Amino acid sequence: MTSPILIACAHGTRSEEGRATIATVIDQLREATGLDVREAYVDVHGPELPDVVGAIEAGDGVSAVVVPLLLAGGYHVYVDIADAVEERPDVLAAHALGPDGRLLDIVHQRLEEQGVPEDATVVLAAAGSSDPRSQADTAAAAELLRERWGGPVRVGFAAGPKPSVADAVAEARVNGEDGVVAVASYLLAPGLFQRRLEEAGADYVTGPLAPHPMLLEIIADRFADVLDT
């Protein structure tokens, strides 16, 4: 029996480096899983998710599973992706990649690679969304990081809700939280938001999460979770 198609659906970015990073993740996913992996995007550029779904021949069982390459749930997951599969009962949608402890393991690894002192204040820097479900997922991710980190952990956003990453860094300095402040990127790939993190005034700024082998595990698990339900 042929396995369903995995549609890896990312946000989309104008950054050439960001597009190349997502392409690398998708190529690694094909190699690691042996699945038919199709790429799709919900914003900025194509191939657009509705077109990718529409190009898949309908079957009696599950034809495809859309796995959001997004770190939190929100409008893109609960509206854009949901709408794209609504008329296709044979195409299912998985949960966002986060919150997941393995994502915070990657964040912790990035901090260690930068040599950030274990008692430093860390600002977990997410993309940001007005959707309260996305904000709740980011708050849950921060709690998971607190379990792994020795110093204070704050949350900042590259866009949308407050505090901004720059404001979170400034607030940490005002509070005198051990003097060292690190911004931990909770972004999937490079682009405009990552540049904002680098301009936020922290002593350290980590790189995005992708590419990383644990991301492939999480994506594969989201795919499998849908088929197991």
Q: What is the pLDDT of residues 86-129, one digit of tens each?
A: 999 999 999 999 999 999 999 999 999 999 999 999 999 999 99
Domains 5-97+211-228 and 101-205 in one fold? yes
pLDDT for 1 equals 61
pLDDT class of 178 with cuts at 50, 70, 90: low
Given the DSSP bridges, would you call strands 153-157 and 91-93 parallel, antiparallel or unpaired? unpaired
pLDDT in tens, 28-51: 999 999 999 999 999 999 999 999
Query: Letter for the amino acid at 183?
Result: V
- Percent of the chain past pLDDT 70, that is, above it, reads 98
pLDDT in tens, 15-31: 999 999 999 999 999 99
Residues 6 or more apart whose Cβ sits within 8 Å of residue 86: none
Distances (CA, A) of 181 to 29, 143, 157, 171, 185: 34, 18, 15, 10, 13
pLDDT in tens, 59-81: 889 999 999 999 999 999 999 99
Place of tokens 């950054």: 15
- Average pLDDT of every residue of the chain: 96
What residue spans define the domains of the chain?
5-97+211-228, 101-205
Place of tokens 């698990």: 221
Neighbours of 79 (CB within 10 A): 12
- In angstroms, the CA 50 to CA 124 distance is 32
Q: Is 101-205 in CATH node 3.40.50.1400?
A: yes
Q: Which two tokens stand for residue 24?
A: 């690398």
Quick one: which of 41, 24, 25, 29 has its CA closest to 5? 29
Bridge partners, 8 (sequence order): 39, 67
pLDDT for 64 equals 98
pLDDT for 103 equals 98
- Fold exhibited by the domain 5-97+211-228: Rossmann fold (3.40.50)
Q: Span 169-198, mean pLDDT?
A: 92
